[in-house]
Chain A
Amino acid sequence: DGGITQSPKYLFRKEGQNVTLSCEQNLNHDAMYWYRQDPGQGLRLIYYSQIVNDFQKGDIAEGYSVSREKKESFPLTVTSAQKNPTAFYLCASTHPGTGQGNTIYFGEGSWLTVV
């Protein structure tokens, strides 16, 4: 079955440490996204990528970095510069221009906790 796979499901970060969240999709979608979810705040866009080797900052990009070396992969690194990283992180994809109207397909999410 096609879908988006995020790993790990749970991750603990020590102060001053960088961590990377993996996101892989086999939907053949061009666009991929990373969202952060905090209780009561909905979803906020961190980064997005429309094509391979290109990505743009979202609304809360500070303290995060991404890469898009392959169409199916869009890893997110949470750096030590992100002072409050504890949250639920969601990877997603869309296939613009296919008549789906930017319908978003989500992964199962990853919990990151600072210890």
Chain B
Amino acid sequence: AQSVTQLDSQVPVFEEAPVELRCNYSSSVSVYLFWYVQYPNQGLQLLLKYLSGSTLVKGINGFEAEFNKSQTSFHLRKPSVHISDTAEYFCAVSNTGGFKTIFGAGTRLFVKA
């Protein structure tokens, strides 16, 4: 069985400050890892994904994430956030041979002026 834990339910941060949203997963098989973003009253959209290869993955809107197999983590980072980054962020894991994706509970990022 797989599981995903997002370690922070809410992260307040000032504009132009760096941010890290933490994600840990557990799985007995090879996985794909994802971060999705959800703006209020909308569906989710893909920020970035790790399928294989380089452990540092760059996504849209200046976000990046690093896959750490030994620590089973996939933390999301941005060096300087904007007000428009205020949203909910979901970490997700999918096994490489299946159809199902497991989502974390989400982290609400609140960027203050």
Contact = CB atoms under 8 A, between A and B. Distances in A.
Interface of A: 4, 6, 31, 40-43, 45, 48, 50, 58, 90, 92, 94, 96, 99, 101-104, 106-109
Contacts of B34: 103-104
Contacts, number: 55
A108 B101 CA distance: 19
A63 B98 CA distance: 25
Interface of A is mostly: loop
B51 A101 contact: yes
B43 A102 contact: no
7 contacts: A43-B44, A43-B103, A96-B99, A99-B51, A101-B32, A102-B99, A102-B101
Contacts of A101: 32, 49, 51, 94, 96
Given A4-B43, A104-B46, A106-B43, 16 more contacts: A40-B9, A42-B90, A42-B106, A43-B103, A45-B100, A48-B99, A90-B43, A101-B32, A101-B94, A102-B99, A104-B34, A104-B36, A106-B45, A108-B42, A108-B43, A109-B43
